[in-house]
Amino acid sequence: MRRRKFLQYLSWLGLTPGISSCLSSIPDILYPAASFGNVTLLHFTDCHAQLLPMYYREPSINAGSGQTNNRPPHLAGQAFLDFYGFKPGSKEAYAFTSLDFAEAASIFGKMGGFAHLTTLIKQLKYTSTHGNILLLDGGDTWQGSATSLWTHGADMVSACNLLGVDVMTGHWEFTYGSDQVKANLKQFNGEFVAQNIALSEEAQFLTESETDSVFKSYVIKDFKDVRIAVIGQAYPYTPIANPKRLFPDWQFGIQEQRLQQTVDEIKRQKSTDAIILLSHNGMEIDLKLASRVTGVDIILGGHTHDAVPKPVWVENSTGKTCVTNAGSHGKFLSVLDLDINRHGLRELRYRLLPVFSNLLEPDADMVRLIENVRQPYIKQLKKPLGTADRLLYRRDTLKGTFDELLLDALLKTNDAQIAFSPGFRWGTTLLPGQTFTYEDVMNHTAITYPNTLRRTLTGLEIKAILEDAADNVFNPDPYFRQGGDMVRAGGLRFHCEPSAEFGQRISEIRLTNGALLEAKKSYSVASWASVNQVANGKPMADVLADFLKTQ
């Protein structure tokens, strides 16, 4: 997008008179410095290895169930704008919703990018009146792009070191395998924390380890007259959502009791003034956890990709906890300015800052690092595969147009009647008319178990898959939701009732020719990213690339 057009549009919004006269002044207007408190937490999460600015469309449907339906984080579109008081057509409407996305993208441009994020972080540090700043990474950082896959996450470790990440936790990081995770962490300048990962009993016995801890449970950060604890909470359902074979000796879980014991230990022994939980649970789990675990002041959440402009305060038996979530793909940076003394957290002020790439000059050092990372692969990354004929996006509770493209490729390549694709929330958006490159394909398929699979399933087994996926998304108890949107299905359509009981949510399953799915009849089914089976078909990226060449 042309910078002049963006500046003109901002002047129409009345942001500042004469805004186009000096680009360097714009960040000060959109990202004002806060003169409040004595500690600042900077938090990003779920960037999914997107080093460059990109488009990412927020969901038009973000359905929930139980008490959280139609409440944060389950708000989208106009309901989101109404709840938070944003105007249609504004820069906030573009950043936080899917409304008029293609048109808004042509005005406001791409978002995120590590070089631009670096500039924003440096500005916040430079303008801080106290200098007590922590940069926290909520995980899903080493996965989601071609270069992250091909370097086994090393590109993102280097980028995070330059960015200045102090503490991180994880999820998709573990899919490189336990050995690679350990190797990467040796190169990481910050600290990795995860109180809810433990060695299996057998692994602890064989290694003769005195403790079952795999990583540090928490770290203590000392500032002048203030002491803060940061506890790590990695994604609790990693062995369910991802192949257990990649980390066979590690056990995961929410570990609520273990977390409470950790909080109590910190309060009893460490003389801390505030306790932060750096979480990759997903916001709904965090909201429930905050009501049950006492002593945590703030939960900085991730995993569900919810961009929440205002924190949610949750009461528990001894006080209340502030719960936040900072979006995904490098689009946002959350800023929490804290007023802390020896009696604890007195007050906080929260901002979720959209990272507008056109308004933040890229940091030169980060630009060089990114160019060096990409240079060996640039020819492959930029290989053109066609032109997007519509808005291609992934994130939505029930379906996405990019997922439909994956399903079409699976059906044709495998000569299958039905296809399934995981309800991943990561993957960048392509605008209508945008050149489709191999890098775009990899932004949706870059995982360590990408192979496709063709098998025969009965109608009863197919319904069971759909019911299990629906329960994962719509179970009224957040502790039984294991992340991701509804599984994507090709070659059939069905009715889904989120509020129904388990086993009764899916009905009216029909093939595309209108025929009802028969319980005892067998059907050919293509899929990819199998968690429990080792597939030997072509990787999904190659399947899609070949399919695009034929269109």
Give the C-alpha separation, 507 to 516, whole Å: 10
10-residue averages of pLDDT along the chain (551 residues): 50 42 46 81 98 98 82 95 96 97 97 97 92 97 98 98 98 98 98 97 88 95 94 97 96 97 94 96 96 98 97 96 98 96 91 95 97 98 96 96 98 97 97 97 98 97 97 94 92 95 96 96 98 91 95 81
HSE of 418, CA atoms in CB hemisphere, 13 A: 26
Nearby residues of 218 by Cβ (< 8 Å), 6 or more positions away: 193, 195, 229, 230, 231, 232, 262, 266
Q: What is the pLDDT of residue 533?
A: 85
Kindly give the interhelix angle for 401-413 and 438-445, rounded to the nearest 10 degrees. Answer: 90
Give the C-alpha separation, 177 to 175, whole Å: 5
Element (H, E) at 154: helix 154-163
Which ranges constitute the DSSP H helices of 188-339?
Answer: 201-207, 238-241, 256-269, 283-292
| Ramachandran quadrant class, 131 (left: phi over 0; alpha: psi -120 to 50; beta: rest) | left
HSE of 384, CA atoms in CB hemisphere, 13 A: 6
Give the C-alpha separation, 213 to 250, whole Å: 9
Nearby residues of 145 by Cβ (< 8 Å), 6 or more positions away: 48, 49, 50, 51, 439, 442, 443, 446
Give the C-alpha separation, 137 to 192, whole Å: 9
241 CA to centre of own chain? 14
Q: Confirm if 247 and 444 have CB atoms less than 8 A apart.
A: no
E strands in 316-423: 320-325, 332-341, 344-354, 384-387, 418-421
Give the C-alpha separation, 50 to 384, whole Å: 19
Judged by DSSP in three states, 335 sits in strand
Q: What is the pLDDT of residue 31?
A: 73
CB atoms within 10 A of CB 349: 14
Kindly give the interhelix angle for 438-445 and 540-550, rounded to the nearest 10 degrees. Answer: 140
To 5 degrees, how large is the angle CA 369–CA 374–CA 379?
A: 155
- All domains of the chain, ordered by start, with CATH? 1-30 (no CATH), 31-56+111-371 (3.60.21.10), 67-108 (no CATH), 382-550 (3.90.780.10)
Q: What is the pLDDT of residue 7?
A: 52
Return the residue matching tokens 């549009």: 9
In degrees rounded to 5, what are phi and psi of residue 219?
-130, 155
Q: Which residues pair with 356 in a beta bridge?
A: 111
E strands in 152-289: 167-168, 191-192, 198-199, 218-223, 226-233, 250-251, 274-279
